[in-house]
Each structure stands twice: as structure tokens, then as C-alpha cells.
Amino acid sequence: EREMMMCSRAAVVGRRNVVLRTRTIQRTTTKRSAATRITTKNNSNKDDEVYRVMSKNQELSVISVTATKMVAEAQGRHKAAPTATAAIGRNLIASLLLGSFKGDEETVQVTFRGDGPLGQLTAVSDNLGNAKCLVGNALADPPLRPDGKLNVGMAVGKGILSVSRSHPSWVQPYNGQVSIYTGEIAEDIAVYVRDSEQTNSAISVGVQLDRELTVVGAGGYMVQVLPFASDETLDYLEKHIPTLDSPSTMVESGMTAEEIAKAILGDLGAFEEVETRLTPKYGPCCREELEGRMLKAVASLGREEAMKIIEEDGKIEVTCEFCKEDLVFNEEEIEKALQGI
């Protein structure tokens, strides 16, 4: 399964009208009920990775992601149907492409508010590669497209894509939004990056499921054109990228994030002296990370409402919609949280 969008060279150098080129390749999967299996196959022993490098001529920057384990974990946590899994995985990978290697403690939130059956789709990531997601309807699984592919665009629908970048030291987040272009995620992200962040890029994200609805390949990449890139570099990029396999196919075949980035750069070569990498993880979803945030949410109910629930049930149970983890708080814990307001 694959979607790729690249602004044409004309759009990059600003000489002609914008032309958006897309290519989609997707393995057809048998429609079944919502998948709960999270066992990954071919690459089960490989950690996910985010890798960044520049071209040797320092005119392009590439970030590539392998995220099979992360997407499989998200599928399991949300008990997502095939199409919902594809949408969740694509957005998680997109958030990693936008959020990794940024400033310390900076986070990015990518939200699709479409009118499709999927409902709101949100992914949040930070500069260290932690990412998590929530979805309105994880069972959304509209009919296949006429070409037999998962219909992520129909699941998402039309509406607004918003991206919010935030940092504890900023007075307020940086927010940008665009209309959802296709609902296929990568194309929408590329339009956002071009229109709101004034950066020309090639973006591809993909999630591959086998007939048992197991995630067997998930990955993506973002190529950003740096200032003063030559026409020769842009010509090469335009001709070379459409010849590549989808990122999910490359991941399923066993390629690492580094190998994917170098395949993207091809004859341009990689400036390895400036490479950076990190290991992405779903979450954080440990109790220590969730407890403080959830107690604050409970305390925001106010003493009267919180104590009423305690009186009726003897406890308050809270579910994190990102992690699908349930935490139970007793009266003593609630009282302590209320005193801290």
C-alpha cells in the first residue's frame, strides 16, 4: 500500500503553476472483521527507526521511517479494522516525519477532522520519536475502492487538516491548517507543508497488511528541498522518486531506514557525516507517564462531582484514548489530586 506526493520542480522553483503528482500502489487484502493481532512477521526482530541525512551536495534533506512495530502496536491497542489501521499508521508515520529531530521538548500534533466514518484522527509525536494516536471510530472500514485498494480517503472524508507545534517555553503553539486534499494522508501533509510551512517536499507513507491482517510493513519518508537547490538536483529527484518501491514494500523486504534514505538519494549520494537516527516508540503509555495527566483530568471535575463518583462507585476509572490503558484511582488518590489544584 502506498501513497506518494511530490510537488513538481516547477512548484519548487516557482516558475509555473503547481502540479501535484501522485502514485499509489497497494496490496489488496481480504476484508475481515477488526484485526486484533499485532504479531509482525518478516521484520519482527528489527527495531523501528527514524533516520535523517543530507545529500552529498547538501541540497536535499531526507527523513526516513520504519515503523512496523509501532503501527502494529497501535492496531492492537485500538483493535482497528484494516482501513482504520492504514489511516492510523499513515498518520503516525507522518507525525514522526514532522516531529522528529526538532527542538528539545517540542511536540507536533497532526489532526484530520473529516466527515468520513473514521471520525477525528489525531497523532502526536515529540522530538525523541515518541508517537501515539487516537481515532474516533477504529472500526471504520468502508468498501474497497474500485481498484481493490483500501479506501482511506473515504474513511477520512472531507474537512480540515490541522497541525500544531508546541513547546513549554512558547507563549502559544504554532497552528496551521489546510483543507483535506484527498484524505489519503501523505498528499494532505505535503499540501500542508507547502502551504503553511512554505517548504517544498516529497512525502510518502504506507502501511502493508497481509491476508491475516497482520502489519508486515510500515514506513515513510520526507524529502525536503533546501534553499538554492540546483535544477539538476530537482530534475534528478523528479525522475528518480517515481521509480522507487513504496516505503511499506521496502520495509517489508527488510530494508532499514538508512537503506531507504540512500535509495531515495540514489546517485546524489548521502552526506553521512551529518546523519542522525533515533528509535521511535508508541506512547509514552506507562502508568508513571499517564497517572499525573489523568489525575489532573479527574481533579478538573471538581470536588463535588469527583466525590459523588467515589461515593457511588468507590473509585474512579479513567481511560487514555491514545493508549487505551485504564487507570483506577481510589478516594485517597483523588483527594490528594484535589488538594493540589
Please measure the distance between the N-terminal and C-terminal CA atoms of the chain and give it in whole angstroms.
48
Q: How far is CA 72 from the centre of its chain?
A: 13
pLDDT at 339: 72
Mean pLDDT of the chain: 84
Tell me the percentage of the chain whose pLDDT exceeds 90.
Answer: 60
pLDDT at 74: 97
pLDDT at 295: 74
> Sheet harboring 2-7: ordered strands across?
20-25, 2-7, 201-209, 215-225, 60-66, 49-55, 270-278
Give the whole-angstrom CA distance, residue 139 versus residue 38: 16
154: Cα within 13 Å, side-chain hemisphere? 11
pLDDT at 86: 97
Q: % helix / strand / coil in the chain, to the nearest 5?
A: 35, 30, 35
Give the whole-angstrom CA distance, residue 220 versus residue 67: 8
| Residue partners of 293: CB distance under 8 A and separation at least 6 | none
Residue written as cell 507517564? 289
pLDDT at 59: 95
By C-alpha distance, which of 103, 101, 47, 119 is closest to 282? Answer: 47
Tell me the percentage of the chain whose pLDDT exceeds 70.
Answer: 85
Q: How far is CA 31 from the centre of its chain?
A: 23
Give the whole-angstrom CA distance, residue 210 versus residue 250: 15
The residue that leads in pLDDT, 262 or 19, is 262
Residues in the chain: 341
* Chain segment 7-27, per-residue pLDDT in tens: 333 223 222 222 223 333 333
C-alpha cell at 39: 504479531
* Chain segment 72-106, per-residue pLDDT in tens: 999 999 999 999 999 999 999 999 999 998 878 88
Lowest mean pLDDT of 15-19, 139-143, 212-216, 236-240, name the range.
Answer: 15-19
**Does the pLDDT at position 42 exceed 60?**
no
* Chain segment 97-126, per-residue pLDDT in tens: 999 988 788 899 999 999 999 999 999 999
φ and ψ at residue 334, rounded to 5 degrees? -65, -45
Give the whole-angstrom CA distance, residue 328 versus residue 311: 15
Give the whole-angstrom CA distance, residue 163 versus residue 168: 17
pLDDT at 318: 80
Instruction: Name the residue type at position 223.
Output: V
